[in-house]
């Protein structure tokens, strides 16, 4: 296959290095007492990955509990709407149990916690989606589950709070700072430091201190491994472009990573452009941020001149995060992936278009990637006959109240 792109070589399988770094990014910027816990986690993770019985059990659960492989689904009517004879496939993570990709990671880490003999699971959640995935896995595996959630998010996401409780989790309200996701993460880290002996911190995205970005990537890479096999079976060649929305970066790195060594495949991450690119009005960390340290890792960040974290806004709660996983920062700076932004309005347009042309209501997060591709196509910016894969990270059921409000419909 011919290499037509001019990307720098992404050193596949080399990252993270032994210090947990992806180039200049990543690492472990944590208090001393957490260093030992992170080292314990890293050792346990590496042992588990070499244990054929563990891998076999994980694969079995991914098949029968999660419903993998999810399909790689051709969408002809949407493709036609995008225009210029492009052919678009969706990787259907919306079909996974609980309706999104988050379960892949929650299941993997939950099984790892059990293997390590940790009975108490803590997690942070913003929109509640990671909380629900974690509570789901804890119920299945018989583990105690405590979810930290900002007070503001608890009010905004009452349905997910109810789901978590129904699944047997305790939801702890965090009323520090902006009372949202980043404060919930701080509180979960505090709990972890205090209860390290018994407790496993089940982190929700490909960010945080090493080894989390790598662990989450590996558990989500099942998306890209399947997609690569499926596109070869269905089209006999690799795609020209892969698009995924980027919040913390887990669904995107999950589909990007298994294609990273194929330099002819263009990887494009779509961030939340919110209502404008003014500070505080969006969550486009890689597009508009600069490197700094947040939640234990060096990565791009939305920060002001003093290094204070900026507020973020997105119509999709799952993309509303001022940081991003370090591997994406590395992929951006190395040129292996590129990152763009899609506004709230573009996401809504994408959601409506996919619903009407294909009978698939995407999550608002995924709708950023859908809407971006649609607009690029309509502006004539996609090459004639391109083969495109979009990661459909989740289904839209959870977003119906938000979408109705945006369309001025009273439910
Ligand atoms: C949480 C979530 C995201 C954003 O998280 P990433 O770690 O960036 O993948 C995207 N899509 C859906 C459906 C989500 O629930």
Backbone dihedral angles phi then psi of residue 221, each to the nearest 5 degrees:
-65, -10
Distance CA 103, CA 132 (A): 9
Say whether pLDDT at 4 is over 80.
no
Q: What is the pLDDT of residue 322?
A: 93
Domain end (from 181, 216, 251): 216
Q: Which of 394, 398, 400 to mutate to test the pocket of ligand 1 (most atoms within 8 A of CB)?
A: 394
* 124 given a catalytic annotation: yes
**Whether 200 and 230 share a structural domain:** no
Domain count within the chain? 2
Q: How far is the CA of 4 from the centre of ligand 1 (A)?
A: 31
Q: How far is the CA of 362 from the centre of ligand 1 (A)?
A: 12
Q: How far is the CA of 248 from the centre of ligand 1 (A)?
A: 7
Q: Which of 90, 205, 268, 286 to mutate to test the pocket of ligand 1 (most atoms within 8 A of CB)?
A: 205
Q: What is the pLDDT of residue 9?
A: 55
Query: Which is catalytic among the residues 226, 358, 393, 398?
Result: 393
Let me know if residue 60 belongs to a domain. Answer: yes
Let me know if residue 411 belongs to a domain. Answer: no
Query: Which is catalytic among the residues 93, 124, 271, 365?
Result: 124
**Whether 288 and 311 share a structural domain:** yes
Q: Convert the pLDDT of each residue in 150-162 to its tens digit.
A: 998 898 889 999 9
Backbone dihedral angles phi then psi of residue 245, each to the nearest 5 degrees:
-75, 155
Ligand 1 nearest-atom number relative to CA 394: 13
Q: What is the pLDDT of residue 10?
A: 61
Distance CA 187, CA 165 (A): 19
**Token pair for residue 166?**
């129904």
**Whether 349 and 267 share a structural domain:** yes
Q: Convert the pLDDT of each residue in 324-360 to its tens digit.
A: 999 999 999 999 999 999 999 999 999 999 999 999 9
**Whether 260 and 307 share a structural domain:** yes
Range of the domain at 237: 67-99+222-406
Let me know if residue 16 belongs to a domain. Answer: no
The CATH number covering residue 230 comes to 3.40.50.1100
**Whether 276 and 392 share a structural domain:** yes
Tell me the average pLDDT of the chain. Answer: 95
Contact 18, 39 (CB under 8 A): no
Let me know if residue 1 belongs to a domain. Answer: no
Domain end (from 216, 235, 261): 216
**Token pair for residue 307?**
């290094």
Let me know if residue 121 belongs to a domain. Answer: yes
Let me know if residue 14 belongs to a domain. Answer: no
Q: What is the pLDDT of residue 225?
A: 98
Let me know if residue 4 belongs to a domain. Answer: no
**Whether 248 and 187 share a structural domain:** no
**Whether 137 and 28 share a structural domain:** yes
**Whether 88 and 154 share a structural domain:** no
**Whether 160 and 297 share a structural domain:** no
- Confidence tier at 188 by pLDDT (50, 70, 90): very high
Domain end (from 171, 192, 216): 216
Task: Ligand 1: list residues with CB < 6 Å.
Answer: 100, 102, 129, 205, 245-252, 318-319, 363, 365-366, 393-394
Q: Convert the pLDDT of each residue in 110-126 to its tens digit.
A: 999 999 999 999 999 98
**Whether 95 and 106 share a structural domain:** no
Q: How far is the CA of 15 from the centre of ligand 1 (A)?
A: 22
Let me know if residue 143 belongs to a domain. Answer: yes
* 316 given a catalytic annotation: no
Contact 242, 373 (CB under 8 A): no
* 393 given a catalytic annotation: yes
**Whether 87 and 117 share a structural domain:** no
Q: Tell me what percent of the residues of the chain surpass a pLDDT of 70.
A: 97
Question: What's the pTM value of the predicted model, to 2 decimals?
Answer: 0.96
**Whether 264 and 358 share a structural domain:** yes
């Amino acid at each position: 296959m011919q290499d037509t792109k001019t990307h720098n070589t992404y050193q596949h399988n080399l990252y993270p290095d032994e210090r947990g770094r992806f180039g200049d990014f990543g690492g472990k910027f944590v208090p001393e007492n957490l260093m030992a816990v992170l080292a314990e986690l890293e050792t346990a993770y590496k042992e588990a990955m070499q244990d054929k019985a563990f891998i076999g059990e994980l694969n079995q659960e991914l098949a029968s509990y999660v419903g993998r492989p999810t399909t790689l689904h051709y969408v002809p009517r949407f493709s036609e709407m995008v225009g210029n004879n492009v052919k678009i496939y969706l990787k259907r993570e919306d079909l996974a149990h609980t309706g999104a990709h988050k379960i892949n990671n929650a299941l993997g880490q939950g099984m790892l916690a059990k293997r390590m003999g940790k009975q108490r699971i803590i997690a942070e959640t913003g929109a509640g989606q990671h909380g629900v995935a974690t509570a789901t896995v804890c119920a299945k595996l018989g583990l105690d589950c405590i979810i930290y959630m900002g007070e503001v998010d608890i009010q905004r996401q009452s349905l997910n709070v109810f789901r978590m409780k129904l699944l047997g989790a305790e939801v702890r309200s965090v009323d520090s700072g902006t009372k949202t996701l980043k404060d919930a993460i701080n509180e979960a880290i505090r709990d972890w430091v205090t209860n390290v002996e018994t407790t496993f911190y089940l982190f929700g995205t490909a960010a945080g201190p090493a080894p989390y970005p790598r662990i989450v990537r590996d558990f989500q890479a099942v998306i890209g491994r399947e997609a690569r096999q499926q596109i070869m079976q269905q089209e006999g060649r690799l795609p020209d472009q892969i698009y995924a929305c980027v919040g913390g970066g887990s669904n995107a790195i999950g589909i990007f990573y298994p294609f990273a060594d194929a330099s002819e495949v263009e990887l494009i991450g779509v961030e939340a452009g919110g209502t404008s690119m003014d500070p505080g009005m969006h969550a486009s960390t890689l597009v508009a941020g600069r490197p700094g340290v947040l939640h234990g890792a060096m990565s791009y960040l939305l920060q002001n001149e003093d290094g204070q974290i900026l507020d973020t806004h997105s119509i999709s709660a799952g993309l509303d995060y001022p940081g991003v996983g370090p591997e994406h920062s590395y992929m951006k700076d190395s040129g292996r992936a590129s990152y763009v932004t899609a506004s709230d309005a573009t996401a809504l347009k994408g959601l409506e278009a996919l619903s009407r042309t294909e009978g698939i209501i995407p999550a608002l997060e995924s709708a950023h990637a859908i809407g971006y591709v649609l607009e690029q196509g309509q502006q004539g910016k996609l090459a004639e006959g391109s083969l495109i894969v979009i990661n459909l990270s989740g289904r839209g059921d959870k977003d119906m109240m938000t979408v109705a409000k945006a369309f001025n419909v009273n439910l």
